[in-house]
Amino acid sequence: MRMSRKKIHLISLGCPKNLVDSEILIGGLKRQEFEIVDIPEEADAIIVNTCGFIEPAREESIDTILQAAELKKIGNLRELVVMGCFSELYPDELQKGLPEVDYFFGTDAYGEIIAHFSGKDHLKFDPHYLRSLLTPSHYAYLKIAEGCDNECSFCSIPMIRGKQKSRPIKELLDEAEWLADRGVKELILIAQDTTSYGWDLRPKVYLQDLLKELDRITHFKWIRLLYTHPAHLSNKVVDVIAKSDRICHYIDFPIQHVSDRLLTSMCRGLGKDGIRKRIYQLRSVIPNIAIRTSLIVGYPNETEDDFQELVDFVEEIRFDRLGVFTYSEEKGTPAFDLKDDVPIKTKWNRRERIMLLQMDIALEKNSRFVGKTMEVLIDEVKYGVSTGRIEYDSPEIDNIVTVNQKLDAGKFYEIEVTDYTEYGLTGKTI
């Protein structure tokens, strides 16, 4: 039965790539004159865009779905719809296990969902130009490709999203201009692997080609690069970053591990020496670059020696930003067939040991900013306190700068750094 009151609430879980999917869907729903409401209790229908990448994300998705379902008993909710990676990966299991949900859709079913609510099965729309930004208006993500051709043994993304499908440069430039016209000052490039962008296109293009074109859009103050693969980062991409005034001297560079034995099992395509060489090359060409990485501890058969090798590498390299995940078994991946023989307690202990080491490294690195004047983009102002970021920090995952003044969100300020913690700086306008 179709809704009479067209009020929809959307809950977006997971990564920025999922967030872009949610933005496209909301934009399409608005075009069909549905009202998007921020308060779930006011909604006639709720859409949950799920994440199914690792077990904690799936648990969060289930908890969110069940919480939303409660509104059928106490609120106006008539319809509960689930979409995204989780329902793409486990459609049959979820339909059996979650009878509270009325409809399930996959990851890119924008048209199907809009047609479902509107009753107009003939709808045609260009998804990438219907976006309704869920980020603050001054920054936005640009999804340059969907899917992934890598075969990392621990990762289920290729099963969920399929093979890599890069978007043509012209299409991306049009969308980037569209975002610039709407006041976006920071453009953040995302994909499952941004460094393999364009390899599947004919004629073939490369990430450095796209970066050069985006660099010409003068409205953007910052262009940020996420999800680069260490085995695929080319010298040409590094050179483009080094020469640009707009592309941030920041790179998201997930190495996962440094034990050659584990890296081979993970199918990462690059060993410890290769990873070290890439990092030193980055710092040689771009001396002030901030490198963020992600690590996995507790991968099957990870010994104490393997882990100590990782600890020693983190201490040697001294990454600017670092996150650690405990290994999670993913059904259907090659690693699922390996014996997950590292106890949960050991996994969490190893994670804590690296995070404590990184806290010391972060403190030392942040101390160097005291007394310096940094350009800060203000993201939020609340109760007279402004928070923002410097060039070396991506939103939501990295450090923040706190200024005890009421500034304007979305604007850049020159801030003198007066204090620091492990995960942030404090400053004042000059």
Write the pLDDT tens digit of every residue in 209-231.
999 999 999 999 999 999 999 99
Task: Please list, in sequence order, all residues whose beta carbon lies within 8 angstroms of the beta carbon of residue 51, skipping any fewer than 6 positions away.
Answer: 13, 14, 15, 18, 57, 58, 60, 61, 84, 85, 86
Q: Using the predicted structure, report yes or no on whether residue 55 has a pLDDT greater than 70.
A: yes
CA distance 21 to 108: 7
Each domain of the chain, given as residue ranges in start order, spans: 7-127, 129-367, 373-429
Phi, psi of 65 (to 5 degrees): -60, -45
What's the confidence (pLDDT) of residue 324?
96
Query: How confident is the model at residue 4, as a pLDDT?
Result: 52
pLDDT tens for 235-291 read 999 999 999 999 999 999 999 999 999 999 999 999 999 999 999 999 999 999 999
Residue % of the chain over a pLDDT of 90: 69
Is the pLDDT assigned to residue 125 strictly greater than 80? no
Q: Is the distance from CB of 390 to CB of 374 less than 8 angstroms?
A: yes
pLDDT of residue 3: 44
Q: Does domain 7-127 have CATH number 3.40.50.12160?
A: yes
Q: Which of 119-123, 341-345, 386-390 has the lowest mean pLDDT?
A: 119-123
Q: 209: burial class by Cβ within 10 Å (0-12, 13-18, 19+)?
A: middle
Q: Is the pLDDT of residue 127 over 70?
A: no
200 vs 53, higher pLDDT: 200
CATH tag for 129-367 (out of 3.80.30.20, 3.30.56.10, 3.30.420.40, 2.40.10.120): 3.80.30.20
Q: CA 226, 231, 233 angle in degrees (round to 5)?
A: 50
Buried residues in 186-199 as b, exposed as e (16+ CB within 10 A): bbbbbbbbbbbbbb
Residue 17 has pLDDT above 60, yes or no: yes
pLDDT band at 31 (very low <50, low <70, confident <90, very high): confident
Q: Are 324 and 256 in contact (CB under 8 A)?
A: no
Q: Does the pLDDT of residue 233 top 70, yes or no?
A: yes
- Report how far residue 423's alpha carbon sits from residue 415's, in angstroms, rounded to the nearest whole number: 17
Tens of pLDDT, residues 320-344: 999 999 998 888 889 988 887 899 9
Farthest CA pair distance, the chain: 63
Q: According to the model, what pLDDT value does residue 2 have? A: 46
Mean pLDDT of 367-396: 96
Please state, as a whole number, how many other Cβ atoms lie within 10 Å of the Cβ of residue 402: 17
Pick from 361, 373, 375: nearest CA to 423: 361
301 Rama sector, left if φ>0, alpha if ψ -120 to 50, beta otherwise:
left
Return the number of other C-beta atoms located less than 10 Å from residue 238's C-beta. Answer: 19
Question: Looking at domain 373-429, which CATH architecture does it have?
Answer: Beta Barrel (2.40)
pLDDT exceeds 80 at position 79: yes
Indicate the range of 62-76, 277-291, 345-359 predicted with least confidence. Answer: 62-76
Sorting pLDDT into bands at 50, 70 and 90, what band is 126?
low
Residue 54 banded pLDDT, cuts 50, 70, 90: confident
- Residue 121's pLDDT band (boundaries 50, 70, 90)? low
| Average pLDDT value for residue range 5-26 | 87
